[in-house]
Amino acid sequence: MKLFNTLTNQIEEVSPQNPPEVKVYTCGPTVYDYMHIGNWFTFIRYDLLIRTLKASGFDPKWVINITDVGHLTSDADTGEDKLAKRAKSEGKTAWEIASFYTDYFKQGLVRLNFTQPWQMPKATDHIQGQINFILGLEKKGYTYRTSDGIYYDTSKFPNYASFAKLDLDEQQPGARIEPNPEKHNPSDFALWKFSPSNVQRDMEWDSPWGKGFPGWHIECSAMCLRYLGETLDIHSGGIDHIPIHHTNEIAQSEALTGKPLAKIWMHTNHILINGTKISKSLGNTVTLEDIEAKGYTPETLRMLVLESHYRSQSKFDWNSLAASEARLLRYRNFAARMFQAEPGGQEISPPDLLTVLQDDLNSPACLAVLENWLDKAEVLSLSKKSIVGTINSIDNLLGLKLSEVLDIPEELKQLIVQREQARNKQDWTKADQLRAELNQHGITVLDRPSGPLWQYLA
Ligand SMILES: [Zn+2]
């Protein structure tokens, strides 16, 4: 299996350290609000990675962290804590906000038919691990203290700029970050922030440096180490994470362990909504709930995600979603044939979807292979075994829940038989009447040489 590695800028074979185990870490959500579909796009793409690894014979150990403290409104170290801000506006505690949106995220994973991650650790459950990590960095001379926290000195890590190909001379304080005059270098970042002396935070902990809370980046370094060890096989996240978050994770982890943090770095590209980047601040976000309120299923969103490659910009608009629904209907109607397979149907092998996905998760090419196969298979009379085998291989890889397509009730089957009898008697009025009745139940009938075939209507 091959993946594009952001670290080396080339497509590489996945060669885990202890096969068949593959250590995969995905930077998870900050649990302060409903997730928008941009977040879900990213996670669905990594679910596809896990499914493809499994089908390829690997045993992925998948960790997604839950950021429930320390992520400030700027991705750098300024602004308010996102959870504390939300808590204030809702009149709740940060703990209540974290608990609510963590549950919400986990329910979303189920609704969207995710592979269950191996671990979903919370930052607040790993404060001691983060403190120990910072102590290790302190011992090695990578930290310094300012009036508001303990900072990482990026000038001590010579490769700091290389991952993101940053031009540090260009990185002037104040461009997008409020200047902090106490920082030694503009790119330095907080490992531990002190609680303000005049405010009691909902979330704060004692530390060797005083009461406070961890910086955002340190949780990932600490939890990678705790669950997956010094070097991951695959580290993944959104493309936005490259210049700050992942650069800082590398600086922390590699300074402490002296080992590469990950062999392969994967990044998903942006999602555009009507041509603009999706963002809470622009107020153009769409949630899974918005999609469901318009009558679409979570599988339709999954289908839309699969239609673009994870390294290209994908787009969301309602017309595209409607097109994805039509595509999914075609697949579901193929699945419905498992209830209508005739004895003596032909045995054919399922489409080879795995090979295309093993080539850097090329999901659009995978759908093309599947549809070429359907073009041929739809006109054949197939055995039930062939139909079910294909449905299972699609479901295992793409998670579209085709095997959950329902059979139609016996009454409707009787209507189909009666319509067929009317047609045989050339009673077209009655046949049309029965067809209309079936349509009212969301079913249509194709008249094929081998007999009638029912399908779900759009
Ligand atoms: Zn992270």
Helix (H, G, I), strand (E, B) or coil at 199: coil
| Residue pointed to by tokens 């990950």 | 262
- Across 419-442, average pLDDT: 96
Boundary of a domain, candidates 404, 423, 441: 404
C-alpha 258 to ligand 1 mean position (Å): 19
Percent of the chain beyond pLDDT 70? 97
Q: Is residue 279 part of a domain?
A: no
Q: Is residue 344 part of a domain?
A: yes
Q: Is residue 19 part of a domain?
A: yes
Judgement on whether residues 239 and 325 belong to the same structural domain of the protein: no
C-alpha 261 to ligand 1 mean position (Å): 12
C-alpha 333 to ligand 1 mean position (Å): 41
**Helices (DSSP H) in 56-165: which residue ranges?**
82-90, 94-111, 127-139
Angle at 59 between CA 304 and CA 353, to 5 degrees: 40
Judgement on whether residues 393 and 415 belong to the same structural domain of the protein: no
- What does the pLDDT look like over 89-114, one tens digit per residue? 889 999 999 999 999 999 999 999 99
Which tops the pLDDT comparison, 71 or 40?
Answer: 40
Judgement on whether residues 111 and 234 belong to the same structural domain of the protein: yes
C-alpha 425 to ligand 1 mean position (Å): 69
Predicted confidence at residue 174, as pLDDT, reads: 45
Long-range (24+ apart) CB contacts under 8 A made by 289-295 are 289/34, 291/37, 291/321, 294/318
- What does the pLDDT look like over 380-400, one tens digit per residue? 999 999 999 999 999 999 999
What is the value of pTM for the model shown?
0.94
Spatial separation of the C-alpha atoms in residues 303 and 343, rounded to whole Å: 32
C-alpha 25 to ligand 1 mean position (Å): 8
Predicted confidence at residue 167, as pLDDT, reads: 75
Residue 188 near residue 153, CB atoms below 8 Å: yes
Q: Calculate the average pLDDT of the chain.
A: 93
Predicted confidence at residue 74, as pLDDT, reads: 66
Per-residue pLDDT at 76 exceeds 70: no
Decide the pairing of beta strands 276-277 and 271-273: antiparallel
Q: Is residue 148 part of a domain?
A: yes
Spatial neighbors of 51 by CB under 8 A, at least 6 apart, are: 115, 396, 397, 398, 399
C-alpha 362 to ligand 1 mean position (Å): 24
Residue 132 near residue 146, CB atoms below 8 Å: no
C-alpha 284 to ligand 1 mean position (Å): 25
Judgement on whether residues 250 and 311 belong to the same structural domain of the protein: no
Q: pLDDT band at 308, cuts 50/70/90?
A: very high
C-alpha 356 to ligand 1 mean position (Å): 29
Residue 438 near residue 445, CB atoms below 8 Å: yes
Percent of the chain beyond pLDDT 90? 82
Residue 90 CB neighbour total at 10 angstroms: 12
Q: pLDDT band at 151, cuts 50/70/90?
A: very high
Q: Is residue 107 part of a domain?
A: yes
C-alpha 31 to ligand 1 mean position (Å): 14
Predicted confidence at residue 144, as pLDDT, reads: 97
Which tops the pLDDT comparison, 145 or 167?
Answer: 145
Judgement on whether residues 226 and 89 belong to the same structural domain of the protein: yes
Angle at which helices 410-424 and 428-440 cross, to 10°: 160
Residue 339 near residue 382, CB atoms below 8 Å: no
Spatial separation of the C-alpha atoms in residues 41 and 43, rounded to whole Å: 6
C-alpha 164 to ligand 1 mean position (Å): 15
C-alpha 367 to ligand 1 mean position (Å): 31
Q: Is residue 278 part of a domain?
A: no
C-alpha 320 to ligand 1 mean position (Å): 31
- What does the pLDDT look like over 396-409, one tens digit per residue? 999 999 999 999 99
C-alpha 32 to ligand 1 mean position (Å): 16
Residue 192 CB neighbour total at 10 angstroms: 25
Judgement on whether residues 373 and 258 belong to the same structural domain of the protein: no
Spatial separation of the C-alpha atoms in residues 321 and 296, rounded to whole Å: 8
Judgement on whether residues 178 and 300 belong to the same structural domain of the protein: no
C-alpha 223 to ligand 1 mean position (Å): 9
C-alpha 54 to ligand 1 mean position (Å): 23
Quote the tokens at residue 433: 């009447």
Judgement on whether residues 293 and 320 belong to the same structural domain of the protein: yes
C-alpha 217 to ligand 1 mean position (Å): 6
Of 289, 275, 301, 270, nearest in space to 398 by CA: 301
Quote the tokens at residue 50: 């896990």
Judgement on whether residues 292 and 168 belong to the same structural domain of the protein: no
Spatial separation of the C-alpha atoms in residues 260 and 230, rounded to whole Å: 8
CA distances from 376 to 56, 208, 332, 372, 398 (A): 26, 68, 16, 7, 21
Name the residue type at position 252.
Q
C-alpha 27 to ligand 1 mean position (Å): 4
Decide the pairing of beta strands 21-26 and 232-238: parallel
C-alpha 105 to ligand 1 mean position (Å): 17
Q: Is residue 275 part of a domain?
A: no
Judgement on whether residues 163 and 307 belong to the same structural domain of the protein: no
C-alpha 311 to ligand 1 mean position (Å): 19
CATH number, position 337: 1.20.120.640
Cis peptide before 214 (omega within 30 of 0): no
Q: How many domains does the chain have?
A: 3
Residues 111-143 as b or e (16 or more Cβ within 10 Å = b): bbbbbebbebbbbbebbebbbebbbbbbeeebb
Judgement on whether residues 312 and 422 belong to the same structural domain of the protein: no
Boundary of a domain, candidates 268, 296, 331: 268
C-alpha 337 to ligand 1 mean position (Å): 44
Residue 380: which domain range? Answer: 288-404
C-alpha 96 to ligand 1 mean position (Å): 23
Quote the tokens at residue 134: 């910072």
- Per the rule left: phi > 0, alpha: psi between -120 and 50, beta: everything else, 234 is beta
Quote the tokens at residue 350: 């399922």
C-alpha 248 to ligand 1 mean position (Å): 9
Quote the tokens at residue 135: 């102590």
